[in-house]
Chain A
Amino acid sequence: MLERGSVALLLGNEAIARAAIEAGVGFAAAYPGTPSTEVVESLAEVAKEIGMHVEWSTNEKVSFEAAYAASIAGVRALVAMKHVGLNVASDILMSSAYTGVNSGLLVVSADDPSQHSSQNEQDNRWYGLLSHLPVVEPWCPRNAYRLTKVSYEISEKYRLPVILRTTTRLSHTRQPIVYEADVPREVRTRGSFKKDVERYVLVPAHSRKLKEALMKKWEEIREDLGVEPFISIENPGLRRAIVASGISYAHVDEALNLMNMRNDFTVVRVSMPVPLPVKPMKELLSYAKSILVVEELDPVVELQLSKIVVEESASVELYGKDYVPANYELSLEIVYKSIKAFLGEEPSAPWSGVEPVKLEPQVPPRPPTLCPGCPHRNTFYVAKVAANKAGVRDLIYTGDIGCYTLGYLPPFRVQDTSLEMGGSIGVAHGLSLVVEDTVIAVIGDSTFYHAGLPPSINVVYNGGRALILVLDNLCTAMTGHQPHPGTGLTATGEKAERMFIEDFLKSMGFKTYVIDPMNVGESIGEFVKAYREHLSGKHVAVVSRMKCALEVLRAARARGIALPKYAITDACTGCMACVNLLGCPAIVVEEGSRKPRILEEACAGCGLCAYVCPYDAIVVSREGGAGWRELWH
């Protein structure tokens, strides 16, 4: 690995990982989730070299517990997750604050303002207030590198986990970073657990005392940490001030430069929004008469500051969400306008873009779609045709979270709900007990291991009528193809015990069918049987197993195996069945043409279009090389 003094263009997430390595982290665990994934992914790449333990855990709660355990046993640890992951891990988060930790524990929480790839937009700084744990919020990747190391120091000083809050923009922006240190030659990866029931057994008699101790630490942090690098004050003493938390500071910084107003404001850069340090705020209130708080999403700093204003009986006008939007991520453009509005000026920006194009047809939206060769396409087609054949008319598809969520779109429409991971089965169970329709829960493999087991057990235990369909593409595709317990591989590429989803379902009492949706006709037959069995009153599940096409393409390239290619012949009548039934991005209809064409470079050779063509007009134009079929399994 690169040594001290080297410069590398790192993503915010990679900067956090590198800093954690330099800080001597010996244990890292996570469940993937955008935008947090690259933190632990980059640690996994170098785990063997460093000798540290890195794992993809089955879910965030499990990963938190594992990292917490390492830390109380004296090994510096890291756990990373997307914002909603912390909901799953919130139980242990709360308890970990009570017991505290021994070696540093960093909890990376990556929030997703604007919901680029999430089901909600929650601001996880609230978790700091809820759990009474400090939240550190960097303002750029370089600052994330620095604050990660500092966070380990305060974690050990106060013996508390520290929440490092990043956002999508910070996690996914690259910046040149100069390495301040080498990779430590020796990393502590073994520890020992010192028993202490009053600390680690949270019965009320113990945890009441621990709560009091926690609140004492909380007050200490509020009093002590109002210093660099948690808070810094530029141009102190002015009547007008801007308080900017996290990445908002980067926007404020550039906006004031562009306005040529750098010296007209006191600027307070907040890198510890929770708990907001008191001293520098009191100092600010001694001279500032008008303050704008700029922060992304909720008014977490603003509310804490307004309490200090009341306590100090300060005569100050305090603004925040009055001018700064609470929805969506902030940007230079938005912050520029917010500051203008705060100044009582027209909230306009100095840039003007050219008119958007006005064309007929319009520029079409390009939402993410299932890739060419995506196994979910095959499974959805099979499931729908089979439902028809089995005479199942009124069907509700409760969906879940993963690439397959895209099945809500035409032409499939096989996701009627999608709420949170594992929700498909729990919701299907409840619906199945109160509606007449057939209810089928559609869930991905990784999601099944994450949160699908308890609700599946519940279906059988409580007599639900939900049919379960597990889409096993042999990876966690949506977040970048991480392995899971069904793959037989660990995060660091070691062999692991392979567990099959059907074995779990069978042991619960589900009659379980395993299909290979590349064999379309056969799979339809099996699925029809599954529906019939379900209608006869049995607990039924289907596991559809075919590898993610992107993984297949990668393996084909690596091993030099050609995949078959398909083409459309003159037998095509232009009926558009392939186009309308499958929505495959590799099948296009060019301007002025009445017939579709297959883009050879995009075709993954799954052959589903050849199966659906009523005129047998789609044929193999290039045979696959020896062993191509095995790549899909």
Chain B
Amino acid sequence: MALKRFNILIAGVGGQGLLTLGELIGNAAIESGVDVTVAEVHGLSQRGGSVVVHVRLGPGSSPVIPKGAADLIIGLEAIETARYIDYASRESLVVMDSFIWPPPLSKHPSLKQIVGELSGRVKLFVIDASRIAREELKAAVAANVVLLGYSLALSKEFRNYVDLEAAVKAVRRVFRGKAVEVNEKALIRGYSEGGSLGVK
């Protein structure tokens, strides 16, 4: 049987750059000669709705990840990460931005509550990607790419499909002009943050 598919679920809020992150991983796959499907699951075009992107690396064409089959969840926002956590199994790696953006007029759990709940269920890694992007890189929108670098550093299995070099090439394919530089920095910054944890 062919190589198993590596499943990445990206969760967040519309406007956070989820679709771009999906495109990046997809292009990194092309750079690595790996087949891929990237399914964008969003409702209407307004900002602020819940969005998920299913990236499946490896041969096959069925685009949506079954619940429990995500190898990696990249959460761009805490509430959305909690919402889709049943896509993870106990072995899954979950990489989450510490950013929390509650829906208007809502009662919601706190970041601390969410981190507590999730860490009992999955291998959870939390990073201040939004803060790093805003303060260090002066580009709030680049949090998604910081998370990508961080995830690559933390998951050897992910790197079996696409490595940092392929991701850098993908940044150059997807972005134009000044954005290339900022996002390359974001990628490396996230990668070194993950590398510094010494996880394999």
Question: Is there contact, CB below 8 Å, between A353 and B88?
Answer: yes
Closest CB-CB distance, A579 to chain B, in whole Å?
7
Closest CB-CB distance, B191 to chain A, in whole Å?
22
- The A contact surface, by secondary structure, is loop
Residue of A nearest to B22 (CB): A174
Question: Is there contact, CB below 8 Å, between B38 and A173?
Answer: yes
Q: How far is the CA of A254 from the CA of B37 in the complex (A)?
A: 13
Closest CB-CB distance, B116 to chain A, in whole Å?
9
**Among candidates A139, A332, A355, A358, residue contacting B66 with C-beta atoms closer than 8 Å:** A332
Count contacts between A and B, CB distance < 8 Å: 194
In the bound complex, residues from chain A placing their C-beta under 8 Å from that of B90 are 354
In the bound complex, residues from chain A placing their C-beta under 8 Å from that of B67 are 333, 351, 353
Give the one of B42, B45, B103 with max A CB within 10 A. Answer: B45
The answer to whether residues A579 and B105 also contact, given A331-B66, A333-B67 and a CB cut-off of 8 A, is yes
B97 at the interface (CB under 8 A from A): no
Interface residue stretch chosen among B77-85, B154-162, B177-185, B192-200: B77-85
The answer to whether residues A254 and B62 also contact, given A172-B39, A174-B23, A354-B86 and a CB cut-off of 8 A, is yes
Question: Is there contact, CB below 8 Å, between B68 and A359?
Answer: no
A501 at the interface (CB under 8 A from B): no
Question: Is there contact, CB below 8 Å, between B44 and A353?
Answer: no
Question: Is there contact, CB below 8 Å, between B50 and A366?
Answer: yes
Question: Is there contact, CB below 8 Å, between B140 and A364?
Answer: no
Question: Is there contact, CB below 8 Å, between A117 and B44?
Answer: yes
Question: Is there contact, CB below 8 Å, between A260 and B38?
Answer: no
Closest CB-CB distance, B40 to chain A, in whole Å?
5
**Among candidates B40, B45, B48, B105, residue contacting A477 with C-beta atoms closer than 8 Å:** B45
Question: Is there contact, CB below 8 Å, between A176 and B48?
Answer: no
The answer to whether residues A34 and B44 also contact, given A7-B30, A176-B29, A364-B108 and a CB cut-off of 8 A, is yes
In the bound complex, residues from chain B placing their C-beta under 8 Å from that of A140 are 37, 61
Interface residue stretch chosen among A443-451, A584-592, A619-627: A584-592
Closest CB-CB distance, A407 to chain B, in whole Å?
12
Q: How far is the CA of A367 from the CA of B83 in the complex (A)?
A: 13
Report the contact-size class of chain B (Cβ under 8 Å from the partner): 35 or more
In the bound complex, residues from chain B placing their C-beta under 8 Å from that of A370 are 46
Question: Is there contact, CB below 8 Å, between B60 and A366?
Answer: no
Q: How far is the CA of A117 from the CA of B80 in the complex (A)?
A: 20
Question: Is there contact, CB below 8 Å, between A480 and B48?
Answer: no
Question: Is there contact, CB below 8 Å, between A352 and B68?
Answer: yes
A346 at the interface (CB under 8 A from B): no
Q: How far is the CA of A257 from the CA of B87 in the complex (A)?
A: 21
A175 at the interface (CB under 8 A from B): yes
**Among candidates B63, B113, B121, residue contacting A355 with C-beta atoms closer than 8 Å:** B121
B36 at the interface (CB under 8 A from A): yes
Question: Is there contact, CB below 8 Å, between B114 and A34?
Answer: no
Query: Which 8 pairs of residues, A with B, have the shortest CB-CB distance?
Result: A351-B68, A353-B68, A353-B86, A333-B66, A368-B49, A364-B106, A140-B61, A250-B61
